[in-house]
Amino acid sequence: MTQMILGGVPVSIFSGEPLVSYGDAGGSTDVILSGGRPVRMTHFSKRVITVTGTGWISSGLDGVNLRGELDFWSPKPLTLATVSSTATLTAAVRPDEPVTAEALVGEQWVRAEVTMSDLDATITPVAGAVVYRLVWFPRFTVLVDPPAEDIGDRQFSWQLVMREV
At a CB cut-off of 8 Å and minimum separation 6, what does 17 contact?
1, 53, 55
CB 8 within 8 A of CB 71: yes
Contacts of 124 (CB under 8 A, 6+ apart): 85, 112, 113, 114, 115
1-76+138-165: what CATH class?
mainly beta
| Residues written for the chain | 165
What CA–CA distance (Å, rounded) separates 58 from 91? 28
Max Cα-Cα span within the chain: 61
Domain residue spans of the chain = 1-76+138-165, 77-136
Per residue of the chain (165 residues), what is the pLDDT tens digit? 799 999 999 999 999 999 999 999 988 899 999 889 999 999 889 999 999 999 999 898 988 999 999 999 999 999 999 999 999 999 999 999 999 999 999 999 999 999 999 999 999 999 999 999 999 999 999 999 999 999 988 899 999 999 999
Query: What's the predicted TM-score (pTM) here?
Result: 0.91
Four-point Cα dihedral 18, 22, 26, 31, nearest 10: -150
Q: How far is CA 23 from CA 19, 20, 85, 100, in A?
A: 13, 10, 27, 23
